[in-house]
Structure 1
Amino acid sequence: MRSIRQCWRTPASIFFIFGLAGCATLPPEAAAPVASQAPPVFELSGRIAVKYKDQSSSGSLRWQHRPDRDNITILSPLGQTVTQITRDADGVTLIDQAHKVHRAANAEILTQDMLGWRLPLSGLSYWVVGQPVPSLPYHADRNAQQYPTQLMQDGWRVNYSAWQTVDGQGLPRKMTLQRDGLEIRLVMDQWILKAAPQ
């Protein structure tokens, strides 16, 4: 039986199939970027492409985020569920294609062991909405509309190449994360912002 890493490996050409590279676009100036605070409660669907060393893979992504819980599903280009990642008060669990459950203290360790690359979930919940983790030092380059074009934090370089307006807020449309030879590209096709739970 193939490992979960092998099941998600695809030819390198697929890495570019979604047109992840392209001209940057900006929403209207009236749409302010998300303020520096706890990330909003959100649901997003989009696409993910990962390149690490001589391997590359791509697929689609569904993510539900709230302060106390994350649910992430990664699917293959054919729509098959490759892995499901859940973060809660007990840690992080990953369910593979064989429905086997794996557990670890954080997503970075778990995805490194099971997928062969690190998903920086704790930082990504902030970066994906265009803001730095408040508790960590960072450097950000911004454009004239005050949208970050590049964010450097916790050893990661995050580049934003396109933005979109959702409910009057500016949110990333395309972004790339890079660290130690790993490149993760994300395209957010749909955002749903929700009120924080009381």
Structure 2
Amino acid sequence: MTRLWWLPLLALLLSACQTRPVTTTDFTRPEQIQRWEMNGKLGYRTPQDGGSATFDWDQTPRHGAIHFSGPLGFGSAELTWRPGSARLETGKGEWRARSPGELAWHLTGFWLPVSALEYWSRGLVWPGAPAQAEEDDSGRLVRLRQLGWNLEFDRYQAVGQVTLPHRIKARQDDNHFTLLIREWRPLP
């Protein structure tokens, strides 16, 4: 028994090294959210076409996946990406490209800037291009002009201590899309 005198000391040291797990209530600013799950609806309209689909989006800092279901002309589709590589799988085939925006063309008929949507969906300006932004008195985006898109952030929702977009309307020339986020689940 005298050989195990160090076990209580080791247990005490290990418990002191543990950190409290991060929860969704720990986020106080949208830019702190780097991992999430969200779901909602994407509607779009072009001069030639229009449609809508529900989506489930899983995001980490280096990987993303959006599952679309509904009348996009494909039934369902899975768009996945990581830096320098993206893949779109539908009932009609599989496509690969360097970015998810290139592949979104197959779904909507226009270039949908998925990399920028990673920021816009959190109510943030995408750092990859110049922008003109207008904020409300609380510092939330109300309007944004970036990548040739004019965006309106007209509804927000509280998620823990953070307020995140609920609806984003976007227009570029004759192309329009609306992103309606029903449920946000920021992840630690």
TM-score normalised by structure 2 residue count:
0.78
Give the Cα–Cα distance (whole angstroms) in 1 for the partners of residues 37 and 83 of structure 2: 20
Report the alpha carbon displacement of residue 184 of structure 1 after superposing the two structures with TM. 0.9
Structure 2: distance between partners of 1:153 and 1:33: 21
Q: Which has the larger radius of gyration?
A: 2
1:181 aligns with 174
Could you say which residue in structure 2 is the equivalent of 1:74?
68
Two-structure CA RMSD over aligned residues (Å): 2.2
Structural mapping, 1:152-167, within 5 Å: 152-167=145-160
The structure 1 residue matched to 2:30, chosen from 34, 37, 57, is 34
Task: Give 1 or 2: higher helix fraction.
Answer: 2
**Unmatched 5+ stretches in structure 2:** 1-26
Residues 30-82 of structure 1 show CA distances to partners (whole Å, capped at 9, x for unaligned) of x96524x7x521110001101011421012011011111110011106xx852
CA distance in 2, matches of 1:89, 1:143: 33
Superposed CA offset, 1:86-105 (max 9, x none): 0014511000124x321011
C-alpha change, 1:33 and 1:176, in structure 2 (3 Å) is farther
Change (3 A) 1:151 1:112: same
- Aligned-pair CA distance for 1:145: 1.6
Equivalent residue number for residue 23 of structure 1: none
TM-score normalized by the length of structure 1: 0.74
Contact 1:33–1:130 (Cα < 8 Å) also in 2:
no
The residue aligned with 2:91 is 97
Moved over 2 A (4+): none
Hey, what does 2:24 align to over in structure 1?
Answer: none
**Per the alignment, in what secondary structure is the counterpart of residue 111 of structure 2?**
coil
Q: Counterpart of 1:140?
A: 133
Rounded to whole Å, the distance in 2 between the matches of 1:50 and 1:135 is 24
User: Alignment partner for residue 78 of structure 2, among 76, 80, 84?
Assistant: 84
Counterpart residue number, 1:13: none
Residues 38 and 56 in structure 2, CA contact (< 8 A), matched pair in contact too: yes
Q: Does the C-alpha gap of structure 1 residues 158 and 189 become closer, same or farther in structure 2, counting only changes over 3 Å?
A: same
- Give distance in 1, aligned partners of 2:117 and 2:161: 22
